[in-house]
């Protein structure tokens, strides 16, 4: 069974050698590691010199989502794994996948746990958070809506891409969550691998995992657009429609709070007034943000 690993890079990808090395530490030979680089020739030349076995594609300079889409189109593996250039895949992850896939051939997405880490003052890794166990990692609306979508912890069978489509570049800041929402709605069979498979690095250069203050997450506005696109789908089941309406309300509230904290109080007030005018029941749905906060702060199993 061939396994494809896809990694997008740019010229400032300072941790990419760690990411590539973690793939090389897997006790399995039939791995196709595709790197899609949005940057200059010098970076590509250095990468090829150090890791000649990589399959390196040149991106079109349209960002990580477009690079991921290009990588998926080129992948030939039966299962596909997304590895960011600042993250690592845990040793033994692919061996675990192979064992479990041999037992349950009907499962099309195999999910592992994730460890979020950062650099401690002494240079060692410091664990920030563990996302482990079936309850925290299961591919359901609650987890995908309000916690990590865990695309970087899931081995996805290539037939899933054929069924639900590739990453959508129109959601460049949250394409991983949008992709996983499609998988949930489609009812793709998924199961838990029983081990941590990905290590996600928290650092100030990350667009999603960091400790920046007074920051307006660009993905929040996209979450509202994603919710609107689904709510406009008349075929969406009633129970899922309730989820999407509540998610839209709480993400617009989170966006307003972020704007307020960043000093953009006029924009925050305008946003809140618009939401209430659009949907008078918004005030009843927005408090579900508390439930979402608790989900993101669960203790690991």
Distance CA 173, CA 32 (A): 26
Distance CA 114, CA 190 (A): 16
- 156 DSSP β-pair partners: 80, 109
Angle at 267 between CA 266 and CA 273, to 5 degrees: 90
pLDDT on residue 63: 84
pLDDT on residue 206: 81
Distance CA 159, CA 143 (A): 23
In this structure, the dihedral spanned by the alpha carbons of residues 79, 160, 58 and 61, taken in order and rounded to 10 degrees, is -140
Burial label, 37 (beta-carbon count in 10 A; 0-12, 13-18, 19+): buried
pLDDT on residue 13: 87
* 140 in Cβ contact with 179 (< 8 Å): no
Distance CA 244, CA 235 (A): 13
- Model pTM? 0.94
Question: Which residues have CB under 8 Å from 184's CB, separation 6+?
Answer: 139, 140, 141, 144
* 43 in Cβ contact with 37 (< 8 Å): yes
Among 141, 136, 138, CA closest to 226: 141
Query: Which fold would CATH assign to domain 3-201?
Result: Spore Coat Polysaccharide Biosynthesis Protein SpsA; Chain A (3.90.550)
For every one of its 301 residues, what pLDDT tens digit does the chain have, with 9 covering 90 and above?
Answer: 999 999 999 988 899 999 999 999 998 999 999 999 998 999 999 999 999 999 999 988 788 889 999 999 999 999 999 999 999 999 999 999 999 999 999 999 999 999 999 988 888 999 999 999 999 999 999 999 999 999 999 999 999 999 999 999 999 999 999 999 999 999 999 999 999 999 999 988 787 887 778 889 999 999 999 999 999 999 999 999 999 999 999 999 999 999 999 999 999 999 999 999 999 999 999 999 998 999 988 988 7
* 175 in Cβ contact with 68 (< 8 Å): yes
pLDDT on residue 212: 79
CATH 3.90.550.10 positions along the chain are 3-201
pLDDT on residue 48: 92
């Amino acid at each position: 069974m061939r396994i494809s690993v896809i990694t997008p890079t740019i010229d400032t990808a300072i941790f990419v050698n760690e990411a590539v090395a973690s793939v090389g530490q897997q006790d399995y030979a039939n791995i196709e590691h595709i790197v899609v680089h949005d940057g200059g020739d010098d970076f590509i030349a250095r990468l090829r010199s150090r890791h000649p076995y990589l399959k390196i594609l040149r991106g079109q300079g349209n960002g990580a989502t477009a690079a991921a889409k290009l990588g998926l189109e080129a992948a030939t593996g039966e299962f596909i794994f997304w590895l960011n250039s600042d993250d690592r895949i845990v040793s033994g992850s692919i061996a675990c996948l192979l064992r479990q896939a041999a037992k349950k051939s009907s499962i099309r997405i195999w999910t592992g746990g994730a460890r979020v880490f950062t650099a401690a003052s002494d240079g060692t890794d410091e664990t920030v958070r563990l996302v482990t166990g079936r309850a925290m990692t299961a591919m359901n609306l609650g987890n995908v809506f309000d916690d990590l979508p865990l695309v970087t912890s899931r081995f996805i069978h290539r037939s899933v891409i054929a069924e639900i489509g590739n990453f959508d570049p129109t959601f460049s800041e949250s394409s991983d969550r949008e992709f996983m929402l499609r998988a949930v709605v489609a009812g793709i069979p998924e199961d838990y691998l029983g081990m941590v498979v990905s290590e996600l690095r928290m650092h100030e250069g990350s667009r999603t995992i960091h400790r920046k203050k007074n920051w307006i997450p660009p993905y929040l506005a996209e979450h509202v657009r994603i919710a609107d696109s689904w709510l406009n789908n008349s075929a969406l089941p009633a129970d899922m429609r309730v989820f999407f309406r509540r998610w839209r309300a709480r993400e617009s509230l989170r966006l307003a709070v972020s704007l307020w904290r960043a000093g953009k109080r006029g924009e925050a007030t305008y946003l809140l007034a618009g939401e209430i005018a659009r949907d008078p029941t918004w005030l009843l749905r927005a408090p579900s943000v508390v439930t979402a906060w608790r989900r993101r702060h669960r203790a690991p199993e």
